Amino acid sequence: MPIRVLIVDDSAVVRRTLTEMLSRDPEIEVVGTAMDPFIARDKILQLNPDVLTLDIEMPRMDGLTFLRLLMKHRPMPVIIMSSLTPAGSEYALEALQAGAVDVMAKPGGSFSVCEDGARLADKIKAAAQARIRRPRLPSPAPATFPTQVSAPAPPPPPRPPAGKIRTAGRRYSPRQLILMGASTGGTEALKTVLTALPPDLPGILIVQHIPAQFSLAFANRLNELCRLEVREATDGLRVTPGMVLIAPGGFHMLVRWAGDHYVVSTNLGPPVHHQRPAVDVLFDAAVRAGAGPTSAAALLTGMGSDGAAGMLALRSAGAATVAQNEETCVVYGMPREAVRMGAAQVVLPLEQIPAWLNRQADRVALRSV
């Protein structure tokens, strides 16, 4: 049976565009549309959709409020369709924290019906497989729908990453790296891992499948939460201990050895596994750079197989490797493929991965001070 989708957006143009895009995929059926959350509530009860696409900024009730109500009373897979403004990016991150499965930019002037329609269809298929849990909300949602809800105050603009004060700790060979890859459900999984890590770690490189417009806000948000310094990677940036570099959306991230340190580079090479950035591109570059014997790699929640082959190459080169277990994944796709291929030395629940990474870093540290 096709995946049943309900589109919720106040723009008739967007509703029509998304319907036309998704109708091209025989595995997806748009069963209805709604111009606001009140109509959406009734249509969810009437049509029982499998997946919702949800706008953030709507009349009568904003999408974020509706999402929180939905996750409390009728949890289901939701994909956020967000504007490309800084406020839109911040709202999208709030929505992911509130339980949305994924985020995508709303149709605009540069929107491609074929390319972006296929990408949205892939996200819907991943969302239909997602393990949905009620998130831990910062404040209880109201028990019933209010009659009118004004739009939320715009979130403050993201602060630029600031330097962190790094305390003395372990010393590392400049060859050491920690590498991570994630996709569907990965923004929250990465937050769980990174906020639990100490600041005295080797350089950390991460590929998260995320639209180009949202990766900077994601990196800035993590930087505010973590003891490590988190940045969106830029071409030519040096990798240093205590720093986390997030691949910019829309660009592959690679790493190379530059005499006595690593440097990252970004490019617009062809998508790999339909992704750019792709985890395999980073992992393969790390193998070529000689990072295998002193590095650790983790593959987290996500649909598809990106990262599995690269992780196998890393393990063959001497790296320690871990995959997130099925029970804690939103979508057990990428980690499952890594396990199937023998790329993962160990399989752990998400909450145990930070301690494992810390132990692997300590295992090859030059010394403790």
Asked if residue 332 lies in contact with residue 305, where contact means CB atoms within 8 angstroms, the answer is: no
Beta strand pairing call for 262-267 and 252-257:
antiparallel
Tell me how far apart the terminal alpha carbons of the chain are, to the nearest angstrom.
60
Say which DSSP state 332 is in.
B
- The answer to whether 183 is a known catalytic residue is yes
- The answer to whether 306 is a known catalytic residue is yes
Distances (CA, A) of 239 to 178, 179, 215: 11, 12, 18
Tokens 């417009």, residue located: 213
Annotated catalytic residue, options 36, 50, 102, 183: 183
Annotated catalytic residue, options 50, 55, 102, 306: 306
**Region of residue 77 (left: phi > 0; alpha: psi -120 to 50; beta: else):** beta
- The answer to whether 73 is a known catalytic residue is no
Annotated catalytic residue, options 36, 55, 200, 209: 209
Which residues contact residue 4 at a Cβ distance below 8 angstroms, ignoring those fewer than 6 apart? 29, 31, 47, 48, 49, 50, 51
Nearest to 56 by CA among 115, 124, 5, 105: 105
Tokens 């003395």, residue located: 168
- Give the catalytic positions in this structure: 183, 209, 306
